Amino acid sequence: MRKEVHVQIAKELFKKLNLPKNYEKVFIRAVVEPDRWRRRHPRYKHHYLQYYTILDYVKRAREAYINGYIQACLQNLGIALHFIQDAFIPSPRTRELRKSHQHLEGKVASFKGETLFMLRNAIDEGFMVSVSSPKFIENVLSNIQWIYDEDEVLKCATKTSAMITAAVFGPKDPPSGLREKYRMLKEEHDKRISKASIISLISAIIGLTLTILLENIYLLPIFFFIIPILIYAGILSDDEEFYEVKEEASWYGIK
C-alpha cells in the first residue's frame, strides 16, 4: 500500500486517541517504517498476512501501553498496522495481479472528501465493535484476506486498523475475577507439571531396574523417552484453559 495511504489512516486514527500532538510524528514514522525494511529484509512479504509477526507487535504495543510507555506503544502498533493494511491488498507478485494491484493502489491513494468521510466512518465503526482482548485480536487477524474491490479494501483495512488500535488502548484494569482465575489455574497447572515430573522419574527408575534385571538395553528408551513424553502430552493436553487465561492475563500485565 502506498505511503500516503498508511499515513492518512494513521493521522485519522491518531485523532481518536486524544494523545499529545507530539506523539503523532512517532506513530506516522512507525506506520511507514516497514517499507524501509523492504530492501534489507526481503522475507517480509508485505502482501501476505504475517500473522505471528503482527500478533507479536500488537502484544508488545499493549505491554508498553500498560506500563505507560506511549512512545514504544505507538512504535509497535504502527508497524503492526502497516502489515495489517498491506495484507488486504492482493500481492503484485503474479503477473495478472500486478495490473489490478497498481490500479487498486492508485485508486486507494486519492483522497477526496468522500474518501476521507468513508475513512472516518470506518474508524468510528472499528472503535465501536472493538474488544480489548488477545482472543479478539487473533480472531480479527485470522479474518484478514485479499480484497479486490477498491472502496472495500480501504474501508476494511481502516476498520481493522481501528479495531486493533482501540483494543491496544482499551481499559488497563483487568475484568473482575481474571486475576483470581489465573492464579487458581496456574496453581493447578504447576501441580500437573510436578505430577508429570514425578511419574517420569518413576518411569525412568523402573526402566533402569528392568534393563539391569532383564539385561535388555532396548527397554531404556521406552521408559526414558516414550513414557515421559506420553505422560507430559496427556497431562498438559487438557490445559488449554490455562494457556488461554494466561494470554488474557498477560494482556493486562498480570504475571
Please state the closest distance from residue 39 (CB atom) to Zn ion, in A.
Answer: 12
Q: Which of residues 156-215 bind Zn ion (CB under 5 A)?
A: none
Assess contact for 187 and 77: CB atoms under 8 A: no
Residues 6+ away with beta carbon under 8 Å from 119 = 8, 9, 12, 154, 158
Between 89 and 137, whose beta carbon lies closer to Zn ion? 89
Region from 60-68, 81-89, 126-134, 237-245 binding Zn ion, contact rule CB under 5 A? 81-89
In whole angstroms, the minimum distance from the beta carbon of 148 to Zn ion comes to 18
For residues 38-67, which are near Zn ion according to CB under 5 A? 46
Least distance to Zn ion, CB of residue 170, Å: 26
CB 178 within 8 Å of CB 248? yes
88 lines the binding site for Zn ion (CB under 5 A)? no
Q: Which of residues 86, 157, 162, 251 is near Zn ion by CB under 5 A?
A: 86
Nearer to Zn ion, 13 or 231 (CB): 13
The 89-128 site mask, x for binding Zn ion (CB under 5 A), equals ----------------------------------------
Measured from the CB atom, the residue of 23 and 44 that comes closer to Zn ion is 44
Residue nearest Zn ion, Cβ-based: 46
The CA-CA-CA angle for residues 250, 253, 254, to 5°, reads 70
| Closest of 92, 84, 70 to residue 25, by C-alpha | 70
Spatial CA neighbour of 131 closest among 67, 90, 175? 175
For residue 175, give Cα distances in angstroms to 128, 135, 237, 241: 19, 14, 26, 17
In the bound state with Zn ion, the residue whose beta carbon lies nearer, of 46 and 189, is 46
Find the shortest distance in angstroms from Cβ 82 to Zn ion: 6
3-state helix, strand, coil in the chain (%, to 5): 75, 0, 25
User: CB 120 → Zn ion: shortest distance, Å?
Assistant: 23
Number of residues that bind Zn ion (CB under 5 A): 3
User: Does residue 61 contact residue 76 with C-beta atoms inside 8 Å?
Assistant: yes
Q: Which stretch binds Zn ion (CB under 5 A): 35-43, 105-113, 190-198, 243-251?
A: 35-43
CB of 1 to Zn ion, least distance (A): 6
- Give, as one character, the DSSP assignment of residue 135: H
DSSP secondary structure, 57-126, as one string: HHHHHHHHHHTT-HHHHHHHHHHHHHHHHHTTSPPTTSHHHHHHHHHHHHHHT---HHHHHHHHHHHHHH
Provide, rounded to whole angstroms, the least separation between the CB of residue 4 and Zn ion. Answer: 12
Stretches 80-88, 123-131, 133-141, 226-234: which one binds Zn ion (CB under 5 A)? 80-88
Residues that bind Zn ion (CB under 5 A): 35, 46, 86
